[in-house]
């Protein structure tokens, strides 16, 4: 019995002289929740758009439930639900009208579409907002509606392209909980993101860099394999070459990773290292505005694996 | 048919719920209808009702042109910018059916607006001297203006990507057709080259046919209802629509 939902083999995609995908291989099992992490421009949207039949590969193949996305796209389109990055729902229509519209695009008669929609609105927690226009929705509710359109009329594989971009932390958490619930009901989920917290809910994570999958594994396994022990985030009064040079010896990898308001340091024994960092910075007149120790995240693991930051 | 009906219903709702679309499509011809009769101050009183009738027909055509050539490409471009085509391309949607749904919505929207213009024009003193046969024939030619307009609109939508650019292109073409096609000026005052344009372009040509049927040939300045011009107007309208639909289904739905 075939257990793979998505199989990608030697996938290449080029735009002119620019190679966006350079030999991607993937095997995602049915019912799996797979998150693909990568920087902007790493090829993740190109990959998801090929699997969602909205773009064509230059070379290689992608199959959904055994159907090739190019030669059997008609069959594939009946199995998948795709939520692109953009807010595609019609803002002048209500949530219910949007869902009925997308259901009818599958060829369903009006009454059947309305019945299906009513059930889906309940399932997605949208029943109270169903008859308001989408233009009045918050970003989180709108995204949930758009996921609902991707579940019509009974999707086996759900593709989500950076769905939490622009959502506040609580809306993001609630949204990811909804997606996790959909996955637990048996739908295979393929999520593309550049936000580490989003990938934490997945059962398996892949890192894409330069058009190739460079690392794959379960979130905890990846953290363990990375060898990272602890992370210290230091918020400094200013950032400079001198500060970075000073912090280098405390960081396992030499020069520390720069953040928006300070530096990130990978180290062992943070209880011992943290006071030394404060003293060293004090010595050059750089005030420490904040310092916190935490366990490594998937973003840290990504940085360790690719030497690149996910955001910015 | 469900796909066609779904797209028609959705597009129509979006048109009527967008105040700016209603205003720019409906209000401009109604404004012209109210203001332009000022020009008839020195005209003998017995022909003013006929002139107002002709102006009413022209403003209905103007409205149909605006809806097809500007509102339609603007809405297609907006849907493209918001990723709706990306979403639909991942679904089992037939581009021809989706395009047909949009066309039907524009026709319905145009019909509502044109009816409003006709009622307003009649209340404002426009007079139509004709029988039922002429009315039915004029309705047929009015439909041709809608056919050609959405054809042009689909061509614009296929070639011009941004919402603002698509809308402005449509407005510019509508105004050019109106002023150069003998709809704003009497046919006999047009230079020779524009007289050809007025006869060859299906929209001014069909407009002239309607005025000729409902008001009389004198209000047009020539006989547009000759066989050659009728055949040319019918065939070119259908051809423009087919070209528009073909370009739309290929370019707006193109996979990179």
pLDDT in tens, B115-143: 999 999 999 998 988 889 999 999 999 99
B82 and A86 in contact by Cβ < 8 A? yes
Query: What pLDDT, on a 0 to 100 scale, did the predictor assign at position B116?
Result: 96
Token pair 């809306």: residue: A171
- The predicted pLDDT at position A2 comes to 56
Nearest-angstrom CA–CA distance, A66 and B131: 65
Structural domain includes residue A25: yes
- Which tokens is A275 given? 């006071």
From B119, B144, B152, select the one nearest B207 (Cα to Cα): B144
pLDDT of the residue at A152:
84
Q: Which residue of A has its CA nearest to B2?
A: A107
3-class secondary-structure state, position A198: helix
Percent of chain A past pLDDT 90, that is, above it, reads: 56
Give the distance from residue B254's alpha carbon to the nearest chain A alpha carbon, in angstroms. Answer: 9
Chain A closest CA to B27's CA: distance in Å? 21
Q: Which pLDDT belongs to residue B63? A: 97
A106 and A161, same domain (yes or no): yes
Supply the pLDDT for residue A303: 84
Contact B52, B37 (CB under 8 A): yes
Tracing tokens 């943290």 back to the chain, one arrives at A274
Q: Percent of chain A scored above 70 by pLDDT?
A: 99
Domain end point (choices A223, A244, A275): A223
User: Mean per-residue pLDDT for A160-169?
Assistant: 88
Q: Do B6 and A104 touch (CB under 8 A)?
A: yes
Find, among A180, A181, A208, the residue nearest to A193 by Cα. Answer: A208
Calpha distance B12→B106 (Å, rounded): 7
Per-residue CA distances from A21 to A9, A63, A208, B142, B154 (Å): 12, 16, 10, 52, 34
Give the residue on B whose Cα is nearest the Cα of A134. Answer: B14
Does any domain span residue A11? yes
- Sign, CA dihedral B16-B22-B25-B29, equals positive
Same domain, yes or no: A57 and A156? yes
A191 and A266 in a single domain? The answer is no
Residue B15 has pLDDT above 70, yes or no: yes
CA distance to partner chain A, nearest, from residue B79 (Å) = 8
Instruction: Please check the confidence at residue A1 and state whether its pLDDT lies above 90.
Output: no
Query: Which of A178, A208, A223 delimits the end of a domain?
Result: A223
CA atoms within 13 A on the CB side of A274: 14
Q: Could you report how far apart the first and last alpha carbons of chain B are, in Å?
A: 28
pLDDT at B45 (0 to 100) = 82
Residue A305 lies in a domain: no
pLDDT tens digits for B138-188?
999 999 999 999 999 999 999 999 999 999 999 999 999 999 998 998 899
Average pLDDT, chain A: 91
Together in a domain, A210 and A236 = no
3-state secondary structure A108-128: CCHHHHHHHHHHHHHHCCCHH
**pLDDT recorded at residue B98:** 96
For chain B, what is the mean pLDDT? Answer: 94
For residue B39, the model assigns a pLDDT of 82
Question: Are residue A217 and residue A235 in the same domain, yes or no?
Answer: no
Interface test with chain B among A14, A20, A104, A105, by most B beta carbons within 10 Å: A105
The domain that holds A274 is classified in CATH as 3.30.70.260
Q: Which residue of A has its CA nearest to B253?
A: A54
pTM over 0.90: no
Q: Which residues pair with A233 in a beta bridge?
A: A264, A292
Nearest-Cα distance to chain B for A2, in Å, is 24
User: Is residue A312 assigned to a domain?
Assistant: no
Percent of chain B whose pLDDT exceeds 70: 100
pLDDT at B106: 98
* Same domain as A213, residue A87: yes
Q: Measure the CA angle with vertex A29, ends A28 and A30; round to 5°.
A: 125
Count how many pairs of residues, chain A against chain B, have C-beta atoms within 8 Å: 82
ipTM above 0.90, yes or no: no
DSSP track, A201-217: TSSEEEEEETTEEEEEE
Number of domains in chain A: 2
Q: Do A53 and B89 touch (CB under 8 A)?
A: yes
The strand pair at A212-217 and A204-209 is best described as: antiparallel
Asked if residues A263 and A301 have their Cβ atoms less than 8 Å apart, the reply is no
Is A265 among the domain residues?
yes
Domain match, A235 and A116 both: no
Q: Are A6 and A28 in contact (CB under 8 A)?
A: yes
Split at pLDDT 50, 70, 90, the class of A308 is confident
Before A261, cis peptide (omega within 30)? no
pLDDT confidence bin for A53, thresholds 50/70/90: very high
Least confident of A54-63, A78-87, A287-296, B202-211: A287-296
Residue A165 is encoded by which pair of tokens? 């971009």
Do A140 and A245 share a domain, yes or no?
A: no
| Higher local confidence (pLDDT), B53 or A124 | B53
Chain A residues close to B88, C-beta within 8 Å: 105
> Domain map of chain B by residue range?
2-252
Flag the least confident range among A51-55, A82-86, A291-295, B12-16.
A291-295
Tell me whether residues A90 and B14 touch, CB distance under 8 A. yes
User: For residue B117, what pLDDT is reported?
Assistant: 96
Question: What is the rounded distance in angstroms from the CA atom of residue A33 to the CA atom of residue A53?
Answer: 20
Q: How many CB atoms lie within 10 A of CB B45?
A: 7
Q: Are residues A235 and A215 in the same domain?
A: no
pLDDT beyond 60 at A248 = yes
Helix%, strand%, coil% for chain B, nearest 5: 85, 0, 15
Give the mean model confidence (pLDDT) for residues A212-240.
90
> Taking CA atoms, what residue in B is nearest to A91?
B14
Per-residue confidence band for B32, with pLDDT thresholds at 50, 70 and 90 = very high
What pLDDT shows up at residue A228?
A: 82
Same domain, residue pair A203 and A243 = no
Tens of pLDDT, residue by residue over B54-108, are 999 999 999 999 999 999 999 999 999 999 999 999 999 999 999 999 999 999 9
Range(s) of the domain holding residue A117: 4-223
Order the strands of the A257-258 sheet from edge to edge.
A257-258, A262-267, A230-236, A288-294
By CB atoms closer than 10 A (0-12, 13-18, 19+), residue A275 is exposed
Q: When comparing pLDDT for A153 and A110, which is higher?
A: A110
Could you tell me if A267 and A132 lie in one domain? no
DSSP-derived pairing of the beta strands A33-38 and A59-64: unpaired
A241 and A215 in one domain? no
pLDDT score recorded for residue A311: 63
Question: Would you state the pLDDT for residue A171?
Answer: 83
Of A90-94, A256-260, B3-7, B35-39, the least confident? A256-260
Lowest average pLDDT, out of A63-77, A160-174, B215-229, goes to: A160-174
Q: How far apart are the C-alpha atoms of B108 and A233, rounded to whole Å?
A: 62
Cα–Cα distance for residue pair A111/B82, rounded to 1 Å: 28
The whole-number pLDDT of residue A266 equals: 87
Read off the pLDDT of each residue in A86-100 and give the average, rounded to a whole number.
94
Highest mean pLDDT among A25-39, A109-123, A169-183: A25-39
Question: In this predicted structure, what is the pLDDT of residue A14?
Answer: 95
CATH of the domain at A21: 3.40.50.300
DSSP string, A154-196: T-SEEEEESTTTT--HHHHHHHHHHHHHHHHTT-EEEEEES-H
């Amino acid at each position: 019995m075939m257990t793979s939902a998505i199989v990608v083999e030697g996938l290449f995609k080029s735009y002119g002289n620019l190679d966006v995908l350079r030999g991607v291989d993937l095997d995602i099992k049915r019912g799996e929740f797979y998150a693909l992490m990568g920087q902007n421009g790493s090829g993740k949207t190109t990959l998801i758009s090929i699997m969602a039949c909205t773009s064509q590969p230059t070379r290689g193949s992608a199959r959904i439930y055994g159907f090739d996305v190019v030669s059997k796209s008609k069959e594939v389109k009946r199995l998948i639900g795709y939520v692109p990055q953009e807010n595609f729902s019609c803002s002048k229509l209500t949530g219910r009208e949007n869902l009925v519209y997308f259901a009818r695009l599958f060829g369903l008669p009006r009454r059947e579409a309305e019945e299906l929609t009513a059930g889906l609105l309940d399932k997605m927690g949208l029943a109270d907002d169903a008859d308001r226009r989408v233009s009045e929705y918050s970003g989180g509710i709108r995204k949930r509606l758009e996921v609902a359109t991707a579940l019509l009329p009974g999707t086996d594989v759900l593709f989500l392209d950076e769905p939490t971009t622009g959502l506040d932390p609580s809306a993001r958490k609630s949204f990811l909980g909804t997606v996790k619930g959909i996955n637990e009901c048996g739908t295979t989920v393929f999520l593309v993101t550049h936000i580490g917290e989003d990938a934490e809910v997945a059962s398996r994570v892949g890192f894409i860099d330069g058009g190739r999958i460079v690392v794959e594994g379960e979130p905890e396994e990846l953290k363990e394999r990375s060898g990272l022990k602890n992370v210290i985030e230091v918020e400094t009064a200013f950032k400079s070459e001198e500060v970075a040079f000073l912090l280098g010896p405390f960081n396992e990898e030499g020069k520390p990773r720069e953040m928006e308001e300070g530096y990130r340091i990978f180290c062992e024994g943070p209880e011992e290292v943290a006071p030394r960092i404060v003293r060293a910075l004090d010595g050059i007149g750089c005030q420490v505005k904040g310092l916190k120790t935490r366990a490594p995240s998937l973003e840290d693991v990504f940085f360790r694996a690719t030497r690149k930051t996910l955001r910015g | 048919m469900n796909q066609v009906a779904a797209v028609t219903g959705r597009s129509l709702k979006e048109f009527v719920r967008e105040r700016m679309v209603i205003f720019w499509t409906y209000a401009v011809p109604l404004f012209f209808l109210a203001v332009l009769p000022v020009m008839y101050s020195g005209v003998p009183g017995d022909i003013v009702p006929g002139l107002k009738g002709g102006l009413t027909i022209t403003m209905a055509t103007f409205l149909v042109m605006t809806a097809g050539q500007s509102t339609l490409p603007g809405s297609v471009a907006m849907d493209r910018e918001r990723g709706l085509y990306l979403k639909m391309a991942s679904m089992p949607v037939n581009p021809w059916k989706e395009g047909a749904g949009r066309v039907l919505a524009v026709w319905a929207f145009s019909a509502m607006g044109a009816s409003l213009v006709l009622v307003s024009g009649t209340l404002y003193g426009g007079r139509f001297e004709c029988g039922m046969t002429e009315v039915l024939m004029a309705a047929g030619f009015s439909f041709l203006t809608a056919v050609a307009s959405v054809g042009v609109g689909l061509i614009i939508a296929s070639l011009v990507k941004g919402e603002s650019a698509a809308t402005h292109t449509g407005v510019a073409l509508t105004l050019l057709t109106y002023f150069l096609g003998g709809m704003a000026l009497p046919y006999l005052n047009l230079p020779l080259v524009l007289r050809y344009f007025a006869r060859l372009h299906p929209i001014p040509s069909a407009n002239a046919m309607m005025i000729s049927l409902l008001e009389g040939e004198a209000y047009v300045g020539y006989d547009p209802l000759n066989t050659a011009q009728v055949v040319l107007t019918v065939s070119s309208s259908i051809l423009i629509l087919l070209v528009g639909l073909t370009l739309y289904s290929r370019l707006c739905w193109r996979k990179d």
